[in-house]
Structure 1
């Protein structure tokens, strides 16, 4: 009961306060309805489009950040591929340089061997030619010496030597010259 008493006294006090300020319930109700209509119109024609634009921009920003991350990742992958390709190219270039050096060394060695063989052939031919020339010179010298011995003997002895005597003297001079 006490609760009812307080409720009734609070209601009376509220009525007095409302009458003091000149509160009209029909006017208040019309203002609440007008506010609701304006709120609904604003929500439908102003807030929803603005919220839609804000959501769209948020999605665009999110997509842009996602794309930026993808681009960073692709750039990192491209840089890694570039480094791998560059490394492979350097290895291949070094291999080609090493192969070229090795090939040049083989060619130089082969040319040197060919030059040595050619020089040995030239020396051998020169020795052979020298030996042949020596043989010819010695044969000519023997003939000339034999002729000189025959002529000298013929002049010293004062007689004409027969072909047999000339041959014997030439052979004897050749033997003495050979030893």
Structure 2
């Protein structure tokens, strides 16, 4: 086709010759250039571009994986914080429950101690009353015997058991 253009152009061939361009050399150079471009594209640029594309995909995947790991780490951190918060809340609830239980037990023990003290005081009062009654009974008996003995000495004769009982009753009735 270039031959036709050169042949149709008046003095066109001279112009190319003056510039140092020869149509046969130009065509062979174009063919060699296209062949070299095709070979470079197939055996040099193609593999290099495919390697670069694979690396780009690997880098993108690594970035996605890194973002996924970062998101998972954030979720794990949030879950850990939530678990710690729940554990703290449960611990605080247990502490409050233990305090309330200890206070309740303390109040129960105080009430038990008061009841025991009241029981001891009641028993002591009952024992004192019994002892007082025993002492009074003993004093009455001794007083009755003393009255009988004193009366027998004053009268100068031995009293009969009926007289002794009567004198003891009279002395006791005067004391009461």
Same fold (TM over 0.5): yes
Q: Which residue of 1 aligns with 2:40?
A: 42
Q: Which residue of 1 aligns with 2:24?
A: 26
Distance in 1 (CA, whole Å) between partners of 2:91 and 2:36 is 79
Confirm or deny that 1:174 pairs with 2:163.
no
Equivalent of 2:163, from 143, 165, 171? 165
| Farther off after superposition, 136-145 or 102-111 | 102-111
Q: In angstroms, what is the RMSD of aligned CA positions? A: 1.9
Deviation (angstroms), 1:136: 0.6
Q: Aligned residue pairs: how many? A: 171
Q: Which residue of 2 aligns with 1:128?
A: 126
Distance in 2 (CA, whole Å) between partners of 1:94 and 1:166 is 83
Distance in 2 (CA, whole Å) between partners of 1:87 and 1:42 is 64
Equivalent of 2:109, from 108, 111, 122? 111
Distance in 1 (CA, whole Å) between partners of 2:135 and 2:69 is 95
Mapping for residues 53-64 of structure 1, pairs under 5 Å: 53-64=51-62
Distance in 2 (CA, whole Å) between partners of 1:142 and 1:22 is 168
Deviation (angstroms), 1:50: 0.7
| Farther off after superposition, 41-50 or 59-68 | 59-68
Query: Which sections of structure 2, spanning at least 5 residues, go unmatched?
Result: 1-5
Q: Which residue of 2 aligns with 1:3?
A: none
TM-score by length of 2: 0.90
Distance in 2 (CA, whole Å) between partners of 1:169 and 1:14 is 184
Deviation (angstroms), 1:14: 4.2
Distance in 2 (CA, whole Å) between partners of 1:136 and 1:142 is 10
Highest relative contact order (Cα 8 Å, sep 6+), 1 or 2? 1
